[in-house]
Amino acid sequence: MKRLIAFVLAAAGAFSVHAQAPQPPEIAARSFLLLDMTSNKVLTERDADTPNDPASLTKLMTAYVVFGALRDKRLTLDQTLTISKRAWDERKGDPSLMFIDTTMTPKVDELLRGMIIQSGNDASVALAEGVGGTVEQFVAMMNRQAQAWGLKNTEFKNVTGMTEPGHRSSARDLSVIGSNLIRDFPEFYAYYSQRDFTFNKIRQDNRNLLLRRDPSVDGMKTGYTEAAGYCLVASAQREFPNGKRRLLSVVMGTASKEARASESQKLLNWGYSAFDAVRLFEGGQAISTVPVWKGAVREAKLGASGPVFVAVPRGEGAKLQTKVERTDPLVAPLSKGQRVGTLKVTTATGAVVAEVPLVVQEEVAMAGIFGRAWDAIRLWIK
């Protein structure tokens, strides 16, 4: 019978926290969330699961699906796309535009800049038709991706973020979309840091004011409709002695362009000043060595798939405790990367700071027939 066993690591993981979480700043927004992407920890939030009109923050998912098509070679950056009347009709009501028309054949690269930097609704429709065939099919692709991530408070009805019944998302869901975009498509993330773009002799500035105010901010997306208020997903990366740290903030429903920038800046500055990212283990480092039954070798090295960071209040990372929980017995064969346990990081009082999957670092093949038979007898006796 398999059983769960746990033990506290002695050396590399002996760190502890005594202080409570720092008090976050007052944020004038309908909802907000601050994510430490380095440790994958939410540092603060308010009403982060409340569905709201996401306005042009919708275009984060529009871009994610287009980037997926580029990755899968179903589209290229140099490829030109024809502009449909539907895309041209986005001019009605004077929304955000790239100012393309049906006589043009812009490149995918230009349309991406038009959508991301200029927030062009016309560019969004053109890209959606280029990838999905129709806008409706593309919206279905967006919703399938949202479902794959388990986003409970998101449903897309269009690719632009224009207000429409049932079109909704939440601060937490948008943080998932934004963080996955950064992680999955680093080669395209530079679009979000570009401060302006000129197309057809029309120059437009990126509406993310933080790109000009904070050199550590390198994205991401603004949004506004009357129903949504002023919204911003912002991401920053700053250098620290133990490496780079990336934070991502989401503010929804602020009162003005200035407010969405200033409230986002407050969150980012607080996150960097109030918390430390403590590096516990390197990626690929053996965190624990455990016995293996019926294997060609007697032990398996367990570790995390990447570096293990935890976010703790500033100056309080001195005595965190780490504990490995794994299923026993471990029976070969074991494949490299196979999850066989969990590393729990706790405070001195037992509060869980982080849970990290532990995986097999090197493949363990099955032993020969006699080795397997001998271990079968030993397991039976055990």
Strand partners, 254: 230
DSSP 48: T
Whole-angstrom distance, CA of residue 265 vs CA of residue 212: 12
Assign residue 91 a region (left: φ > 0; alpha: ψ between -120 and 50; beta: otherwise).
alpha
> In sequence order, which ranges of the chain are alpha helices (DSSP H)?
59-71, 85-88, 108-116, 121-132, 135-148, 171-184, 210-213, 257-274, 369-381
Closest-CA residue to 16 (of 351, 316, 356, 324): 316
Residues labelled as active-site residues: 56, 59, 119
Residue 240 sits at the vertex; the CA angle it makes with 236 and 246, to the nearest 5 degrees, is: 25
Closest-CA residue to 16 (of 355, 347, 350, 354): 347
Is there a contact between 122 and 92 (Cβ–Cβ < 8 Å)? no
